[in-house]
Each structure stands twice: as C-alpha cells, then as structure tokens.
Amino acid sequence: MFLVTTSFQKRVAQSEIAQKTARRSMLAVLTATFCLSAALIISYSTYSVAFAGTAASAALTPATGQWQASYDTVNVRSGPGTNSGIIGQVHKGDIIQAKAKNANGWYQIAWKGGTGWIAGWCVKAYQQSSTASGQSGTQNASRGLTADIISIAKRFLGKPYSYGANGPSSFDCSGFVRYVYSLWGVNLPRVANDQARAGQKVSPSVPGDLVFFSDRKDGYITHVGIYVGNNSFIHAASFKGVTITSLDDSWYKSRYVGARRIL
C-alpha cells in the first residue's frame, strides 16, 4: 500500500511539473509574440509617418505666374484646405501671385508679406492682353497689376482717417498705402518718409505710382497717396478719410515732392 501511494504521488508531482513547464513555455511564446507584434506596429507606424511626410513634401510643387479670382469673393486660408482658418479674401478680377501648388489643387500665394492658400478651382490663369503698338508683355502685365491695385484701393473709399491706423476699418496715409499693397503681396515700409525710398523715382503717369508730399522745411515726407490716373490720387486724408483728390488741388500742389513706382 505504501509503495502504491508513493508511486502515485510521484506521478502527480511529475504531472504538475510538466504542467508548470508547459505554462512557462506558453507564456514565453505569448511574450515573444507580443514583443514581435509591438515591434512590427512601431516599425509600420514609423514607416507610415515617414512615407506620409515624404508624400506631403513631394506633393507641393513650385508654381509661377499670375492668377485671377473667378468669383465675387474667394477666401484666403492659412493652409491648403477648407478646414484651415480664413485669413483674408480676394475678389473677382483680383490678380494673385502663385508660389506653389499641392496635389489637391490648392495654390500657395503671396499674402500680406507672407503666404496664404487659395483653392485652385476659384481662380483662373491671368491673361495678358497684347496691344497694336507692340508693347512688351512685361509692360502690359505691369499695367494689369497696377490697375488691380487701384481697384483694391477704391474698395476703401469713405473709410475714416485715424492716425497710426493700419486698416482695414480705418487708416492713416501711409497705413492705407501699405495695406493696399500688402493685399497684393508687396511689403512696403510703414512710414511715408521710408516709403519714399522704395521703388524707382518717376513722374506720376501710371496708376499705382506713389505720390509724396511734405509740409516741412527739411523736406521730410508727411503724406503719401496712390496715383489713380487723370492727375488724381487716392489717399487717407486727415479730415475726409479715404478719398480721391486732384494733384492740382492748391494745398497738395504746393507741397508735392515727387513720385515712386513700386510695380
């Protein structure tokens, strides 16, 4: 009886040892499988991120030329998509300078000294018209751009004058000029006296030329406006706000200093 019991106990003990060994082996297999799966997931995620980054970079291609807004109002956004915030607007006929294009048809454009994004389906290629006199495409393009500057400027007619104001609800003279040009992607100095050093010196003849005035003996520039043609200019006047005035006006004629061409 004693021998039978001892033999039985040995078999039970051996069975328990075998079960423990099997459980340990299974645990080791599960642990190895888990680690391998985790490694594969991490590797896949890293590859996916790297691939996505590469694809995004590759999708952005350089774009040159000028484009025109096709609709009455087109939103300019901070990024290439309708989920990106609206940072401004352009209007039908406005000319836009493209910098790059992504795979989804969004254009990166020059915007207020920086960049913005506009949907490609909201713009069309800007067509430069030729003239019988044989003027160069560059001259025609310049006229198109300056005409657009004037159309932008005239949108603010009647806005009040406020010293130091940068727009768009109110302006001072140099703030108005700087704001209008910034809407086309041209970054001008803030102060009229510094703006008088930008571009090239000309006699005002092309809409968009800047005209300067001084009421000081030392010639320091105290007022600036944008020439609109017909011997007139648009500006933010201290008592009238944004208005159009003739260069033959006695006050301005006696204080006229000169003009500069930016475009």
161 shares its domain with 223: yes
- Domain final residue, candidates 125, 145, 176: 125
Asked whether residue 202 is assigned to any structural domain, the reply reads yes
Considering the domain architecture, whether residues 149 and 257 belong to the same structural domain is answered as: yes
Answer whether residue 246 is part of any domain: yes
Q: Is residue 41 part of a domain?
A: no
* CATH for 67: 2.30.30.40
Catalytic residue among 35, 91, 122, 173: 173
**Three-state SS letters, 95-146:** EEEEEEECCCCEEEEEECCEEEEEEHHHEEECCCCCCCCCCCHHHHHHHHHH
| Domain co-membership, 171 together with 76 | no
**Does the annotation count 91 as an active-site position?**
no
Q: Among 35, 91, 122, 223, which one carries the catalytic annotation?
A: 223
3-state helix, strand, coil in the chain (%, to 5): 35, 30, 35
Tell me the residue range of the domain where 106 lies: 62-125
pLDDT in tens, the chain (263 residues): 444 455 555 554 555 655 666 666 666 656 655 555 554 454 444 434 333 343 343 367 887 667 777 777 788 999 988 788 989 888 877 777 888 888 878 888 888 778 889 888 777 776 644 333 344 444 444 444 555 688 889 999 999 999 999 999 999 999 999 999 887 768 899 999 999 999 889 987 788 899 999 999 999 999 999 999 999 999 999 999 999 999 999 999 999 999 998 86
For residues 116 and 155, membership in a common domain is answered with: no
| Total tally of structural domains belonging to the chain | 2
Q: How far is CA 150 from the centre of its chain?
A: 21
Taking the model in full, what pTM does it have? 0.51
CA distances from 196 to 57, 125, 223, 262 (A): 40, 33, 10, 10
